[in-house]
Chains A and B, each alone.
Chain A
Amino acid sequence: MYDSLNQIIKEEKEKKTPFWKLVQLDDCHESETTVKESMAEVLKVYTAMKESVTNYDSSLKSQSGLVGGNGEKIRKRLNKGEMICGDFMGSVIEKALKVSESNACMKRIVAAPTAGSCGVVPAVLISLQEKEGFSDEKMCEALYVAAGIGGVIASKASISGAQHGCQAEIGAASSMAAGAAVYLYGGDGSDIANAAALALKNLLGLACDPVAGLVEVPCVKRNVMGAVNAITSADLTLAGIKSRIPADEVFEAMNKIGRNMNADIRETAEGGLAATKTGNRIKESIKIK
């Protein structure tokens, strides 16, 4: 994987090869696969993302009983045309909920980059495909863009909540989705990096404080926030608004913040929301005895 977005942008100009293609070729080289095999695998991933939305079952509850059925509530409101943020953003919210609720209910999802943040990238990409009619091939290219961004974040910082908190999961997912969205609207490497920077800047410092240590509270709803944040970051970028701090430096800042985070807000479920009175009560009620 690349370890710098600046490097991808530089190569995009020098080799006159688009961002997504550079990411693809780099992975093919690393994992000794052909372009055709790689593309087929990415299509499989995208198809699994779509299925994770369509296979949503609103009757399911998670093991703890804390999560389930909320995607359907947004769908009902959408059907009545009542969403304050409009139909498009409403459908982004709906999908982010559906996919991350499905995850909590032990259904099939794509970890992107993690299972806890699995709702963000599909909510953004599938909603944009529905809105604009992009081909599946184009969507796969967008997934390469997302993966390229995620790879750089993993290399400069981390994509693990246990290491760097939620900024490394929802933050990374939002950054990946924002860059991919901008690519779909004709953005080049600089635009992709700009959107990725804007998205992650908003989520720096986010704690990973899951109640009872489960990927449920607050994870599911944070997927909604990550997806919406990706769309706004893409719109800002497409309007020509620049991030004053370049993406690579934002990722480095995330790394430093993550290193300074106390262990109690790095997925240990000992701090933040997990350590609240209600959080503790839920924890006690679901232990293996």
Chain B
Amino acid sequence: MNLFDIIGPIMIGPSSSHTAGAVKIGNVARRLLGEEVKKAEIYFMGSFLSTGKGHGTDRAIVAGLLGLAVDDDGIPNSFEIAEKRKMKFVIKPGEDVEGHPNAVRLKLLGVNGRKIEVMGNSVGGGRIEICEIDGVETSFSAEAPTLIIQNEDKPGYVAEITPILVKEHVNIATMQLHRRKRGTVAVMVIECDQEIPDSCIKALKKLNGVLEVVYLGMRGLE
């Protein structure tokens, strides 16, 4: 927590968890998709479902999927903006998941046909946790430069990936390894202290067995 968590964030009301947090989850999901959202299925759970309407959580999540920031005046009008930009969405009740009081599951289809399924949790004060990507459990906040690497579940990837970051003087703050099932696809989430240069991401993508690299940088974000 820093000073601007105490006197901040500057945000559209009414709730840091149910409004600002929902915008952030939408935003991160959109960036994970890596292209404009064409169609979104939005499943609210827990108190997002029971009190979401009164908190504007529905408009907030759509705003996030459109790429609006947490303090954007357009948040209350996000449904209209979505219509103009031809982004289709449906909002439905989701199945309750134990231990996730403010959660949303997003099934997204991008304009170039890419698909992703993301589950996000709003954990209070506008901070969020992305807790699932395409069925694989994760845990990151997207508040630091974050790399999400999907690779074949075989030995040696950590040893191959870390030197590429070291070479560019990127310090790893946290590192998580997740997989759905042994020998299938593994997801590596690396939160860093510094921005990761494009050259680094290109090098990671070239590694044998690396299926996908998504980078959530901080540049240009507030």
The interface of chain A, by Cβ under 8 A from chain B, is 1, 23, 27, 30-31, 38, 41-42, 44-45, 48, 62-64, 102-116, 118, 121, 143-144, 146-147, 150-151, 154, 159-160, 162-163, 176, 212-216, 269, 286-288
Q: Do the beta carbons of A115 and B15 come within 8 Å of each other?
A: yes
The reply on B110 being an interface residue by CB < 8 A is no
Residue of A nearest to B52 (CB): A288
With contacts A63-B54, A159-B125 taken as known, whether A110 is within 8 angstroms of B7 at the C-beta atoms is yes
Q: Does B126 contact A (CB under 8 A)?
A: yes
* 13 sampled A-B residue pairs with Cβ under 8 A: A45-B7, A45-B10, A108-B12, A108-B71, A111-B8, A111-B125, A113-B6, A114-B16, A114-B125, A116-B14, A143-B7, A147-B7, A160-B124
Contact across chains for B73 and A108 when beta carbons are under 8 A apart: yes
A115 surroundings in chain B (CB, below 8 A)? 11, 13-16, 19-20
Q: Which residues of B contact A144 (CB under 8 A)?
A: 3
Query: Known: A1-B1, A45-B7, A63-B55. Is A107-B12 also a contact (CB below 8 A)?
Result: yes
CA distance A121 to B7 in the complex (A): 9
CB within 8 Å for A216 and B7 given contacts A31-B2, A115-B14: no
Q: Which 4 A-B pairs have the closest CB atoms?
A: A103-B13, A213-B51, A150-B6, A27-B3
A63: which B residues are within 8 A, CB to CB?
53-56
Most chain A CB within 10 A, of B3, B17, B125, B126, is at: B3
Given known contacts A23-B3, A162-B124, A215-B14, what 9 new A-B pairs fall within 8 Å (CB)?
A: A1-B6, A107-B73, A111-B20, A115-B14, A150-B7, A160-B124, A160-B125, A214-B54, A286-B54
Q: How far is the CB of A247 from chain B (nearest CB, A)?
A: 16
- A288: contacting residue among B7, B93, B124, CB under 8 A: B93
**Cβ < 8 Å to A, chain B residues 43-99:** 44, 47, 49-56, 58-59, 71, 73, 75-76, 91, 93
Q: Determine whether the beta carbon of B10 is less than 8 Å from that of A48.
A: yes
Tell me which residues across on chain A come within 8 A of B49, comparing CB atoms.
Answer: 288
> How many angstroms from the CA of A61 to the CA of B200 in the assembled complex?
50
The answer to whether A215 and B13 touch across the interface, beta carbons within 8 angstroms, is yes
Whether A104 and B13, one on each chain, are in contact in the complex, defined by CB atoms closer than 8 angstroms, is: yes
- For residue A123, give the distance in angstroms from its CB to the closest CB of chain B: 14
User: How far is A188 from B14 in the complex, measured between Cα atoms in Å?
Assistant: 35
A102 and B13 in contact (CB under 8 A), knowing A112-B7, A147-B3? yes
Is residue B34 contacting chain A, with contact meaning CB distance below 8 A?
A: no
Closest to B56 in A: A106
Chain B residue nearest to A269 in the complex (CB): B51
Q: Once bound together, how far apart are the Cα atoms of A143 and B51, in whole Å?
A: 32
State which size class the interface on B falls in. 35 or more
> In the assembled complex, which residues on chain B have CB atoms less than 8 Å from the CB atom of A216?
14, 54
- Whether the pair A147, B56 counts as a contact (CB closer than 8 A) is no
- In Å, the complex CA distance between A64 and B200 comes to 49
Which residue of chain B is the closest to A143 with respect to CB atoms? B7
Report the minimal beta-carbon distance from B179 to chain A, rounded to whole angstroms. 32
Complex interface: chain A residues within 8 A of B17 (CB): 162
Please tell me which one of the listed residues B5, B54, B75 contacts residue A212 in the complex, with CB atoms under 8 A apart: B54
Which residues of chain A are near B71, meaning CB under 8 Å? 48, 108
Given A104-B14, A111-B126, A115-B14, A1 contacting B53 (CB threshold 8 A): no
Residues from chain A with Cβ under 8 Å of B4 in the complex: 41, 45
Contacts of A30 in B (CB 8 A): 2
B44 contacts A214, CB within 8 Å?
Answer: no
Q: Nearest chain A CB to B105's CB is how many angstroms away?
A: 15
Q: How far is the CB of B103 from chain A (nearest CB, A)?
A: 14
Whether a CB of chain A sits under 8 angstroms from the CB of B9 is: yes
How far does the alpha carbon of A102 sit from the alpha carbon of B19 in the complex, in Å?
14
Please determine whether B55 and A215 come into contact, CB atoms closer than 8 angstroms: yes
In the assembled complex, the CB of A7 is this many whole angstroms from the nearest CB of chain B, namely 16
The residue on A at minimum CB distance from B49 is A288
Nearest A residue to B53, CB-CB: A288
- In B9-36, the 8 Å CB interface with A consists of 9-17, 19-20
Query: How far is the CB of A1 from the nearest CB of chain B, in Å?
Result: 6
Q: How long is the Cα–Cα vector from A112 to B125 in the complex, in angstroms?
A: 10
Query: B5 to chain A: which residues have CB within 8 Å?
Result: 113, 154
Which one, A1, A111, A163, contacts B16 given CB within 8 A? A111
**Beta-carbon contact of B11 and A113 below 8 Å:** no
Query: Chain B's nearest CB lies how many Å from the CB of A108?
Result: 5
With a 10 A CB-CB cut-off, give which of A23, A103, A160, A215 has the most chain B CB atoms.
Answer: A215
Instruction: Report A14 CB to chain B, min CB distance, Å.
Output: 22
Among A44, A213, A214, the residue within 8 A (CB) of B10 is A44
